[in-house]
């Protein structure tokens, strides 16, 4: 009886060690993927419009598991996607343009920064794809300078809500409910 007990105990200990080893390898931190370049024919993941056709900062999301890149014609569309319940808890890396380092009319991909570290100006008079967008900056001072010149409020990534994506004060700014004639 005692021999069976010790054999069972030995198997359980070996199994626990095995599981511990497996869980540690799963918890290893993966490197953040690099941003990808926007190409002339890229379409917005949210609305399907050609991204290069619009002024203002763009966005992209790279999912950790699939390593799939989703590109957006504006930071507003990126947030519209990222704040959806099915995406909000997903593990993904988000990039936006640092508008202090590039032109509004044609953002340069060398100025892409981690969106989670960026400062955003909401409610400015500058527009992007189909209207209002969130201007993105690597530094708070650049965001404040932009807000002083073009209006708006400076917020951190984690402070952006669906309410910041509202157009004309009452409708969410999504391509499904925008009047294309405005």
Residues 2 and 61 in one domain: no
Tokens, residue 126: 């500058």
Residues 67 and 7 in one domain: no
Residues 22 and 55 in one domain: no
Please indicate, yes or no, if residue 152 is contained in any of the structural domains: yes
Tokens, residue 111: 């100025």
Residue matched to tokens 């992007």? 128
Dist CA 25 CA 19 (whole Å): 10
pLDDT tens by residue, 65-121: 778 899 999 999 999 999 999 888 888 999 999 999 999 999 999 999 999 999 999
Beta strands in 8-103 (DSSP E): 59-63, 69-72, 92-97
Residues 17 and 99 in one domain: no
Please indicate, yes or no, if residue 137 is contained in any of the structural domains: yes
pLDDT tens by residue, 39-78: 999 999 999 999 999 999 999 999 877 788 999 999 999 9
Q: Residue 118's pLDDT is what? A: 98
Sign of the alpha-carbon dihedral angle for 164, 71, 151, 116:
positive
Residues 101 and 24 in one domain: no
Q: Residue 181's pLDDT is what? A: 35
Please indicate, yes or no, if residue 178 is contained in any of the structural domains: no
Other C-beta atoms lying within 10 Å of the C-beta of residue 175 = 17
Please indicate, yes or no, if residue 177 is contained in any of the structural domains: no
Dist CA 170 CA 160 (whole Å): 17
Please indicate, yes or no, if residue 105 is contained in any of the structural domains: yes
pLDDT (mean) for 119-127 = 95
What is the domain count for the chain? 2
Please indicate, yes or no, if residue 182 is contained in any of the structural domains: no
Please indicate, yes or no, if residue 58 is contained in any of the structural domains: yes
Tokens, residue 45: 């993941």
14 in Cβ contact with 6 (< 8 Å): no
Q: Residue 123's pLDDT is what? A: 93
**Weakest mean pLDDT among 35-49, 132-146, 159-173:** 159-173
**What string of DSSP letters covers 18-76?**
HHHHHHHHHTPPPPPPPP-PPPTT-B-TTT--BGGGS-S--EEEEETTT--EEEESSHH
Residues 13 and 77 in one domain: no
Please indicate, yes or no, if residue 37 is contained in any of the structural domains: no
Host domain of residue 168: 51-172
In angstroms, the Cα distances linking 73 to 26, 53, 65, 80, 95 are 34, 8, 23, 11, 12
Q: Which residues contact 174 (CB under 8 A, 6 or more apart)?
A: 46, 80, 165
Residues 26 and 55 in one domain: no
């Amino acid at each position: 009886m005692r021999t069976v007990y010790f054999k069972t105990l030995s198997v359980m200990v070996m199994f626990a060690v095995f599981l511990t080893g497996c869980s540690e390898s799963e918890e290893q931190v993966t490197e953040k993927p690099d941003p990808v370049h926007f190409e002339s024919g890229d379409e917005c993941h949210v609305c399907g419009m050609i991204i290069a056709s619009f002024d203002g900062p763009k966005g992209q999301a790279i999912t950790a598991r699939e390593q799939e890149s989703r590109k957006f014609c504006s930071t507003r569309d990126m947030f519209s996607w990222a704040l959806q319940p099915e995406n909000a808890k997903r593990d993904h890396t988000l990039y936006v343009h640092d508008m202090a380092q590039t032109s509004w009319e044609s953002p340069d991909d060398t100025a892409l920064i981690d969106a989670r570290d960026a400062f955003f100006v909401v409610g400015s008079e500058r527009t992007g794809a189909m209207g209002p967008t969130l201007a993105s900056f690597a530094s708070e001072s650049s965001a404040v300078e932009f807000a002083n010149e073009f209006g708006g409020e400076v917020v951190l990534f984690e402070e952006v809500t669906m309410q910041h994506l509202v157009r004309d004060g009452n409708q969410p700014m999504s391509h499904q409910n925008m009047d294309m004639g405005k």
